[in-house]
Amino acid sequence: MLTKKHAEDIAKKLHAEIRHKKAHDLAVVEYNGQRVLQFGIRRGSRNDSGHDHLPNNLHLHPRDALLLAQCPLSREEWLRRMKEKGLITDDEKG
């Protein structure tokens, strides 16, 4: 199970901007000026409460999302996978 701590670790690893909202924080990840993903981190929840929405938000299998939180999967590897899936490009907008 992915927890609040995992969500916070993933946000940090992906260099997410944390936007504080009422019920939860919103982690926003940008790449080359484009928003590539966002996910919620329940602010009031216990550290062991589930954040099982993360794999879908990260476009990863649950095991890979856990590896991203635990460090074997790097930001660069995550970016490579997203490029392979066509979810992000190296083209800058602007």
pLDDT value of residue 82: 92
Residue 41, in any domain of the structure: yes
Residue 73, in any domain of the structure: yes
Its pTM stands at 0.84
pLDDT value of residue 94: 42
Contact 50, 1 (CB under 8 A): yes
Residue 90, in any domain of the structure: no
Residue 92, in any domain of the structure: no
Per-10-residue mean pLDDT for the chain, 94 residues long?
91 95 90 91 71 90 92 91 90 57
Q: How far apart are CA 64 and CA 78, in angstroms?
A: 9
pLDDT value of residue 93: 54
Residue 22, in any domain of the structure: yes
Residue 46, in any domain of the structure: yes
Count of domains in the chain?
1
Q: How far apart are CA 20 and CA 3, in angstroms?
A: 18
For 27, counting Cβ atoms within 10 Å of its Cβ (0-12 exposed, 13-18 middle, 19+ buried), the class is buried
Domain containing residue 31 = 4-84
Residue 89, in any domain of the structure: no
Whether the CA torsion 62, 63, 66, 68 is positive or negative: it is negative
Residue 64, in any domain of the structure: yes
